[in-house]
Structure 1
Amino acid sequence: MLIVLIALVGFGVYYFVSNSNEHGTHSHNEEIYTCSMHPQIIKHEPGKCPICGMDLIQKVTEDQPVDSNAIAALLQPANGFVVGDFETTTVKDTVIASTVNLPGTVTYNPNSSVNVAARISGRIEKMYVHRKFQRVTKGQKLFDLYSPELQTEQQNFIYLIANDAQNATIIKAVKQKLLLYGMSTSQVNALATAKKLNPVVSIYSPANGIVDGTENSDSQNQTRQQTSATEVLRLKEGDYVTKGAVVFKLVNTEKVWAVFNVIQGYNSLVKINQSIQIKSELDANEVVNAKVNFVETQLDPKEKTNRIRVYLDNEKLKYPIGLRLEGSMETNPQKGLWLQKESLVSLGNKKVVFVKKGEGFQAIKITTGLEINGFLQVLDGVVVGDRLAQNAQYLIDSGSFIKTK
């Protein structure tokens, strides 16, 4: 009996406490209205202050959310969602091709250049070419070289002819050595006839070309001397050159390169043997039809571009080195999701479109690729059929505060 009594008392206490908590919670959550000028006025429903007649305002309790006045709350994005009726466009799954214009210049073809090297060590006695970019022809005398080593070999050759003329094998070997040292066949024959030493050998140009430097211009750091049109060669009479050193470099202007820059991201549109139309600044009306011969895979770190080459025949010297060119080519058709450029707004670190959602437009971050003919390729963010605000600029309240999803 005692146990039953204790149980009844405990149940009664529990019921009383539960009712008290529910009543307290209800009272705590009950809306309370007061006057901003007379806070002693408390009512449980909207109305007017009996003292001043002002509208009562709701009093914020601990469980009710409070509107923050912090700067972070005040600067919340105003256009994460924009209510309104604006013209729309759609994301399209299609194929787009266009014409790409590429800036370029004419440069030397390094594969057609010729190096004139010293076949024997010696001192330059006389130079016949004095300036950089001077044009020379095949067989033209470039410089005279005095060589003690050559003089020794000539003495051996004359001695053998005078004292051991029957030893044809050795005489032939010495004669071949003199030819390898740079003497011509006529000079060797004259030496055998006159038997007079001539330790100076003349070096002739092996091909047509333009002088593009000397051995000293690459190996020595000297003060550059320039005239109004040409640059003086650094190699002078009296300079000593070693065997095998490149004395002159001749570049060929009959075969040149047209080098064009392709902006980053568009190199995938250009292929080898793709047709290209070339115009020069000398005559914008003359169009040369050519094909892409080489596509460089390395990105130029300074210009942020890839380069392509077109090999041009320049026998008539129509393209001076350094001439600016403009290349025009039809790109390969690109299939993908495309949207109009006007429907996107760039915020620097992200790109945003406004997608139609119910009675308004939701700001959505997207990832884009190529830009062709006023259309942008969409890589991520929207799908086919999404309706976008046709002009995103109309929906911007403050670009820096746009919040995307």
Structure 2
Amino acid sequence: MKKIKEWFKAKQVQYILFVMAGLFLGWLFFSPSSTTPQVNDEHHSHDSIAEHTHSHDLQQDENGVWTCSMHPQIKQDKPGKCPICGMDLIPLRKSGNSHENVDPSAIQLSEEAIALANVQTSRVSKENPVKEVRLYGKIAPDERSLQSQTAHVGGRIESLAVDFTGETVRAGQTLATLYSPELFTAQQELLEAIKMQQPALIKAAREKLQLWKMTDAQITAIEQSGTTSPTVEIKSNTSGIVMSKRVSQGDYVSQGAVLFDVANLSKVWAMFDAYETDLPFLSKGDPVSFTMQAFPGKVFKGRIAFIDPIVNPTSRTSRVRVEVANPGMELKPEMYATAIVDAPLKGYKDQIVVPQTAVLWTGKRSIVYVKQPDMSTPTFQMREVELGPSLGNAYVILKGLSDGEEIVTNGVFSIDASAQLEGKTSMMNNDGNTAHPTQSEHAMFGVKGACDMCKQRIEEAAKSVKGVTSASWDKEAQMVHLQFNPEQTSADAIAKTIAKAGHDNDKYKADDSIYNKLPACCKYRQ
């Protein structure tokens, strides 16, 4: 130990130790290997943060904002189902080029959003609109051919030559044999007048028998034979089908009693019910094509011969009559028929016509979305239009659109929902201020119905309630979809109004007296 201390005290050893310590400190503070890793680590950390931030931005841009087309207040950052109605959410992330001059109120959608919302467009053009009016009815006998076979003198039915409904008879055929004491007395008066050689009495007796519808041949036979008969044959005065038989053998009948109703079915009537909203488009002489459930694929044709000038106060329809020849007797009374009338709107020539799906109607305003031309990103501008007559699946546009413009015909509600989310002018927000938007609520419930007439009746009944902005009844699902202002009405009140129109629903049942007055094609109860 002593030797070691002496060795450290040596000046040469101390010099060596100082030099080594200096070299170590220089290497520690000034070596590139010690400073470079710190710089590289900092650079690597910066790149990682930037890469992570960029990845997050890409993920957010890809997901965007997802909303419900029926409830635009719902907003999520990923796809899914609407928590209110269960519909699929749609993306509404806006994209576009910053150098393009875009109207502040316009809506831009990415190609992905347009594809998912199934947005479709078409160009509008002027045309001569034709309204397709669909009518429902049934076959009826021609009232002008109906004949009542009556007893011209009182007596008892001895025998019936025609004893069931539906039998075919011809003019002059014997229908029944009648026993009549009055007729027997009149025949005796004729014979007595002949014996007395009194021309005036003979003429009076003959006229009396003729008034009781005895034929000249029958009267001549009585005069020649000199015998009388208490029975007389009742002859048919027309050819046709026996529609009803009102007597049986042995019945006593009075003078003028109806025995049979006979109709000639070589020409029949097709009687249809037309709603009052369709009456302005129907005219006497319009061609009509109709089909029958009994003859699938076969089309019958005729022309409107008469339109009832009085509207039924219960069904709000008028009867429309079409006369149809029926030589083969294949058209039978009470058969159901469905007719289509292509009625040209003579007062609306050279007008723009758009599909019904292109129009959003709020009750006060009607709007469409017009695609802006020459834009790299699909851009749509809302525009108010003035509607003309409804053509069934289309509307006549009186003001608001020009020939050649491209409008949205499918997916309009999705674009309007995007406008509401962006706080821009939309169907429910006229001034573009979403701080206090118009309240709107969606509801749906089951409603019973059977045909297109039911659809029109149900939707008109729902829209008649103050506060209802839209109503659509699905025949297949037997459901009605409603959009209404909850401050003005409720789903319960709307259901009650629909029941009063004659349609059972999940909330109320229609009164039997109202249901029984519905047209036959609208009967949905089993």
- For the criterion TM > 0.5, the same-fold answer is yes
Does the aligned pair in 1 maintain the 2:128–2:344 contact within 8 Å?
no
How far is the alpha carbon of 1:191 from its aligned partner?
Answer: 2.3
2:129 alignment partner in structure 1: 96
For 1:44-101, what per-residue CA distance to the aligned partner results, in whole angstroms no more than 9, with x for missing partners?
xxxxxxxxxxxxxxxxxxxxxxxxxxxxxxxxx979xx98546899998764225444
Does the aligned pair in 1 maintain the 2:194–2:202 contact within 8 Å?
yes
3-state DSSP of counterpart to 1:131 = coil
List gaps (5 residues or longer) in structure 2: 1-71, 75-104, 110-118, 371-378, 421-439, 441-482, 488-526
Identical positions, percent: 24
For 1:252-283, what per-residue CA distance to the aligned partner results, in whole angstroms no more than 9, with x for missing partners?
11111123343442222222222233444444
2:334 alignment partner in structure 1: 322
User: How do 1:35-184 and structure 2 match up within 5 A?
Assistant: 84-85=107-108, 95-162=128-195, 164=196, 166-184=197-215
Does the aligned pair in 1 maintain the 2:366–2:386 contact within 8 Å?
yes
84-93 or 105-114: bigger deviation? 84-93
1:375 pairs with one of 381, 385, 394: 394
Higher relative contact order (CA 8 A, sep 6+): 1
1:400 alignment partner in structure 2: 484
Q: Is 1:205 aligned with 2:236? A: yes
Question: Structure 1 residues 275, 367: CA separation in 2 closer, same or farther (over 3 Å shift)?
Answer: closer
1:19 alignment partner in structure 2: none
2:310 pairs with one of 293, 298, 320: 298
2:224 alignment partner in structure 1: 193
CA RMSD of aligned residues (A): 4.0
Does the aligned pair in 2 maintain the 1:78–1:401 contact within 8 Å?
no
Letter in structure 1 aligned against 2:484:
S
List gaps (5 residues or longer) in structure 1: 1-76, 214-232
Give distance in 2, aligned partners of 1:148 and 1:350: 78
Question: Structure 1 residues 240, 210: CA separation in 2 closer, same or farther (over 3 Å shift)?
Answer: same
Does the aligned pair in 2 maintain the 1:182–1:202 contact within 8 Å?
no
Q: Could you state the TM-score of these two structures normalised by the residue count of structure 1?
A: 0.60
For 1:319-375, what per-residue CA distance to the aligned partner results, in whole angstroms no more than 9, with x for missing partners?
22233334344321444565442243467x77754789xx99889797764234x32
Give distance in 1, aligned partners of 2:329 and 2:151: 30
Letter in structure 1 aligned against 2:287:
S
2:285 alignment partner in structure 1: 273
Does the aligned pair in 1 maintain the 2:385–2:400 contact within 8 Å?
no
Question: Structure 1 residues 132, 301: CA separation in 2 closer, same or farther (over 3 Å shift)?
Answer: farther
Give distance in 1, aligned partners of 2:129 and 2:298: 28
Question: Structure 1 residues 389, 310: CA separation in 2 closer, same or farther (over 3 Å shift)?
Answer: closer
Q: Could you state the TM-score of these two structures normalised by the residue count of structure 2?
A: 0.48
Letter in structure 2 aligned against 1:375:
A
Letter in structure 1 aligned against 2:356:
K
Give distance in 1, aligned partners of 2:344 and 2:364: 28
Give distance in 2, aligned partners of 1:296 and 1:377: 27
Give distance in 1, aligned partners of 2:311 and 2:126: 30
Q: What is the count of residue pairs matched by the alignment? A: 300
Give distance in 1, aligned partners of 2:172 and 2:344: 49
* Bigger share in helix: 2
Give distance in 2, aligned partners of 1:170 and 1:303: 61
3-state DSSP of counterpart to 2:219 = helix
3-state DSSP of counterpart to 1:260 = strand
How far is the alpha carbon of 1:185 from its aligned partner?
Answer: 2.5
